[in-house]
Amino acid sequence: METVMIWALLALLAIGAPTLMWWKGKRLHRQRGPAPRVSEARDTVADWPPTLTRVLSSTERQAYETLRKALPNHMVLAQVPLARFIRVPTRYSYGEWLSRVGQLSADLLICDRSSEVLAVVEIRPAQESERSRQRHQRMTRVLKAAGVRVLVWAEGELPTPQSVRETLLPREVAAERAAQARAPVGGGPLTTIPTAEVREGEGQIDDASREPPPTTWYSDLDGPQAEKKPPRN
């Protein structure tokens, strides 16, 4: 009889102890609230100590200088994300488009004086991984669909400033050569043919559709994703 009671008591403890522990844990959880997500518990600076790097590689700096010499009256911008100068329809998730291509950056962006995009220059290394190649192909496809001219320069084989002018400004180069051909034999003052330049007020039409999308433009379009709480810091 005593043996039966002992076994019954052990069985009761085996069933009751886990139940009691679960009940106490649930009560404590209600008092303290849910534990913060790992992403929210991280500190932006403490957990990812920032260090400063250069914006451009040595090859990109050389390409930048080439463009500045070839196009002195144009704007040359570096490492501009596609989401800064390309808009897309909002019938599908903007966040998904952003993850596919919007966060990719154009190495060098050529614009006129009113910041209208004229062309994109991409610097490609001699050895490129398959994943990188596919990413560049996707970005090029998007740029061309938006009507942006894409120039691909091989690392270590950059064109000369004159070659860049002939590619991007063929009319201006032809006019310069014609003026040189008409110049007096034996020297004399040579009329300078200005490169293509946007006159003051030209291209400055107040058109909201041509303005770049602000950083918060799509913040409320992705439903539940937009309601996620920001990180702690």
Asked if residue 200 has pLDDT above 90, the reply is no
Between CA 232 and CA 42 the distance in angstroms is: 7
DSSP E strands in 126-209: the ranges are 149-154
At 170 the pLDDT is 92
Check residue 167 and give its pLDDT.
94
On the question of pLDDT at 181 being above 60, the answer is yes
pLDDT of residue 41: 81
pLDDT at position 158 is 96
CB atoms within 10 A of CB 7: 10
Q: What is the pLDDT of residues 93-107, one digit of tens each?
A: 989 999 889 889 999
Least confident of 54-68, 157-171, 189-203: 189-203
CA distances from 225 to 6, 89, 196, 202, 220 (A): 56, 18, 45, 41, 8
Domains of the chain, start order:
58-182 (3.90.1570)
